[in-house]
Amino acid sequence: MLPRLADPIAAIATAPGRGAVGIVRVSSPRPLEALIEAVCGRALQPRRAHYGPLRDARGEAIDHGLALHFPAPASYTGEHVLELQAHGGPVVLQLLLARCLEAATETDAAGRARLPGLRLAEPGEFTQRAFLNGKLDLAQAEAVADLIDASTEAAARSAGASLAGAFSREVDALHARIVQLRTLVEATLDFPEEDIDFLRQADAEGQLRAIREALAATLGRAQQGALLREGIRVVLAGQPNVGKSSLLNALAGAELAIVTPIPGTTRDQIGQTIQIEGVPLHVVDTAGLRDADDEVERIGVARSWQAIGEADAVLFLHDLTRRGQAGYDAAEARIAERLGLAGAESAHPRVLHVFNKADAVSPLPALPPGALVLSARQGEGLDALRRALLAHVGWHAVPEGRFIARARHVQALRATQAHLDAAAAHLHAPVPALDLFAEELRLAHDALGAITGRMTPDELLGEIFGRFCIGK
């Protein structure tokens, strides 16, 4: 549900808590001169910082700070904007915000309210207005939140690239090429009497092929950007005492999990976010997988299986010192069966086999292809594991052209790709179905438009901007 867009809005634009500087922001479709006069005691020159007292209703200074006035449309929101920069104490900022709301209801010499209808902003409403007023497209608006939330340097740089329009330019270029091809198809359908040899003269097949190739490249970069934003959920799984907690500690570089030789020490999930080449990895250590007699441990094992089901990658840890023991191998087979593996050490798209305790076995036994060998206690083999994890989820350490992306962007690009694939099938049919070809191009066009906001329902806008912080 979109908020009341004709209302002027105000909010504290800096994070809660104490700081050197805090900002109160006001945005309004109507001019702000009367409000500025009440709070600052004077007029402000556009886009220039003015230092002085920020006044309460009696004319006394709440604080001394900077005031900046950005008349529309040259502002962040595209509306008239006032920013008050004061000392960053929460009481000071709340007083300034309350003063703005109070001054808006006061009347001037003509008996008119200074800024009628001023209210507190909803989460993300300033950026939402920037989008609706054409200052940012939807992908850029989302990049604002992604830049704020970035947990790694690579994510921050990629979000900055999206905010600067890198992603949007690629999407717009694809959009324009699909529109051009649609125009040619529609001309053929509307004027069949002209006998336009569409397939030959317009090179529809070549144009469509070039669009699909460009889309595939954009999709690849968007998937990389989504990894930077969302990260990878990695679950450490295996029997008790195979070294899951030791591996978590080794990856995190800290003693997060208790390590003992007693089976069942870990009874609940322990998580830590680390980064590899700028990609966040949310690593979860789980309770050892076995048939437990203890009720608490049984709950922990059930949670382990739930975490495994939600993981992007599962590290199935094997104990090299117990390999070949009948009871241990039988338990490995039961776990593998539940994981959907054909055998205890067979390949699976989500599972990486990790053979631990290599420092305690010499010589190493023959292992299946692609198996990772390490010693979590000694730290041997960790670099190979990190590289294998990134390769497993499709990460390529190539910074050129990277931008931040969200899961919905990837889904929209995949939907566009599916419609273009269907369009190609109609075009390559023995008797080309140009009407169906045109319809798939239209659907591809609409799916692509959802990324930048050309074809975005109000419900989605409300969901996107509702996740922003207040004041942004």
Q: Residue 377 in contact with residue 128, Cβ under 8 Å?
A: no
Q: Is the domain defined by 9-136 classed in CATH 3.30.1360.120? A: yes
Q: Which residue has the tokens 């900002």?
A: 23
Residue 418's pLDDT is 96
pLDDT band at 96 (very low <50, low <70, confident <90, very high): very high
How far, rounded to the nearest angstrom, does the alpha carbon of residue 143 sit from its chain's CA centroid? 8
User: Rounded to 5 degrees, what are φ and ψ at 311?
Assistant: -80, 150
Q: What is the DSSP string of 301-353?
A: HHHHHHHHHH-SEEEEEEETTTTT-HHHHHHHHHHHHHHT-SSTT--BTTEEE
Task: Provide the pLDDT for residue 401.
Answer: 58
What's the one-letter identity of residue 71?
Answer: P
pLDDT in tens, 237-291: 888 888 888 888 888 765 554 444 545 545 456 778 888 887 888 888 887 777 7
CA 244 to the chain's CA centroid: 29
Mean pLDDT of 330-341: 86
CATH number of 138-452: 3.40.50.300
pLDDT in tens, 205-237: 899 999 999 999 999 888 888 888 888 888 888
**Residue 295 pLDDT exceeds 80:** no
Q: What is the dihedral of CA 89, 94, 95, 99, to 10 degrees?
A: 140
If you average pLDDT over each of 156-160, 294-298, 452-456, which comes out highest? 156-160
Share of the chain above pLDDT 90, in %: 35
pLDDT, residue 397, reads 62
- Band of the pLDDT at 197, cuts 50, 70, 90? low
User: In angstroms, rounded to a whole number, what is the distance separating the alpha carbons of residues 292 and 237?
Assistant: 16
Average pLDDT on 47-53 reads 96
Q: Tell me which residue has tokens 């994510």.
A: 155
Read off the pLDDT of residues 420-455 as tens digits, 9 standing for 90 and up. 999 999 888 887 788 898 899 999 999 998 898 876
Computed over every residue of the chain, the mean pLDDT equals 84
**Are the C-beta atoms of residues 104 and 8 closer than 8 Å to each other?**
yes
Mean per-residue pLDDT, 105-125: 88
The HSE-up count of residue 149 (CA atoms within 13 Å, CB side) is 17
Q: Which residue has the higher pLDDT, 2 or 190?
A: 190
Residue 82, pLDDT score: 97
pLDDT at 421: 95
3-state secondary structure of 179: helix
Of the listed ranges 11-15, 30-34, 87-91, 153-157, the least confidently predicted one is 153-157
pLDDT band at 1 (very low <50, low <70, confident <90, very high): very low
Q: Is the dihedral of CA 328, 331, 332, 333 positive or negative?
A: positive
pLDDT value of residue 458: 64
Length of the chain (residues): 472
Q: Which one-letter amino acid corresponds to residue 467?
A: R
- Every domain range in the chain assigned CATH 3.30.1360.120: 9-136
Tokens representing residue 376 in the block: 């979590």
Would you list the DSSP string of 394-458?
T-----TT-----HHHHHHHHHHHHHHHHHHHHHTSSS--HHHHHHHHHHHHHHHHHHHTTT--H
pTM, two decimals, is 0.74
Q: Is the pLDDT of residue 177 over 90?
A: yes
- Taking only Cα atoms into account, the Rg of the chain, rounded to an integer number of angstroms, comes to 29
User: Is residue 208 packed enough to be buried (19+ CB in 10 Å), middle (13-18) or exposed (0-12)?
Assistant: buried
The identity of residue 320, as a single letter, is L
Residue 277: which residues within 8 A CB-CB, separation 6 or more?
Answer: 154, 390, 395, 397
